[in-house]
């Protein structure tokens, strides 16, 4: 039994997709094709959202001239491993509708778009890793996004799995897929006593 199977046995018979996706830190620099990238964002496009507002925005870079800028927005602990990945992006959530009214579920909806992208990647044999460890002020300043219009949610990388031995020792030790708390910790039938 592999490490993934060992630590990620579901308690009910669900599609393998849910347990097979996990957040490695070992990425190879093998580029993604344009077709692969298009599929990732197409999957995100079809995520559900409050009143179909689709209040997410992604900015991303691969090996283009802005990659250094994108790398610099991550906290150093994430830069250590995530700069190797061929695609680095940032999810932003829109703050208000165009008419000025609030978008109360925009962070939630942006999470849905991220999850759609992550599962699409996993189905294509790719790996993803979200990162909240970013310099939020720098995200607006360096990526050219208005903080009045958007809230930065997280960074993310996508790529092929790489060589674990290229990570430092501490990161190698953490290269074990996480398990989960039981459903009962998070789900209640009926009113909460």
Tell me if 151 contacts ligand FMN by CB under 6 A.
Answer: no
Yes or no: say if 78 and 131 are a contact pair by the CB < 8 Å rule. yes
Which residue from 54, 62, 78, 116 is in contact with ligand FMN, where contact means CB under 6 A? Answer: 78
Which residue from 23, 28, 95, 122 is in contact with ligand FMN, where contact means CB under 6 A? Answer: 23
Contacts of 167 (CB under 8 A, 6+ apart): 25, 26, 81, 175
State the number of binding residues for ligand FMN (CB under 6 A).
10
| Stretch binding ligand FMN (CB under 6 A), from 36-44, 45-53, 126-134, 141-149 | 126-134
With tokens 């070992």, the residue in question is 26
Comparison of 33 and 178: residue with beta carbon closer to ligand FMN? 178
Which residue from 154, 157, 158, 167 is in contact with ligand FMN, where contact means CB under 6 A? Answer: 154
Report d(CA 4, CA 106) in Å as an integer.
32
Local structure of residue 97 (DSSP, 8 states) = -
Tell me if 31 contacts ligand FMN by CB under 6 A.
Answer: no
Give the helix/strand (H/E) hosting 44: helix 34-45
């Amino acid at each position: 039994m592999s490490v993934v199977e060992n630590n990620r046995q579901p308690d009910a018979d669900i599609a393998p997709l849910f347990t097979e996706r996990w957040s490695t830190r070992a990425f190879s620099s093998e580029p993604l094709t344009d077709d692969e990238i298009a599929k990732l964002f197409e999957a995100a496009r079809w995520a559900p959202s409050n009143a179909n507002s689709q209040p997410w925005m992604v900015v991303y870079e691969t090996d283009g001239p802005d990659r250094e800028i994108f790398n610099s927005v991550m906290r150093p602990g994430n830069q250590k491993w995530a700069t190797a990945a061929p695609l680095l992006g940032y999810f932003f959530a829109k703050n208000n509708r165009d008419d000025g009214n609030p978008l109360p579920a925009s962070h939630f909806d942006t999470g849905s778009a991220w999850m759609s992208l992550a599962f699409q990647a996993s189905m294509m044999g790719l790996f993803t890793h979200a990162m909240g460890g970013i310099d939020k002020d720098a995200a607006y300043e360096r990526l050219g996004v208005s903080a009045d219009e958007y809230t930065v949610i997280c960074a993310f990388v996508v790529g092929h799995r790489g060589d674990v031995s290229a990570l430092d020792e501490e990161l190698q030790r953490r290269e074990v897929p996480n398990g989960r708390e039981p459903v009962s910790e998070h789900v209640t039938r009926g009113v909460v006593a």
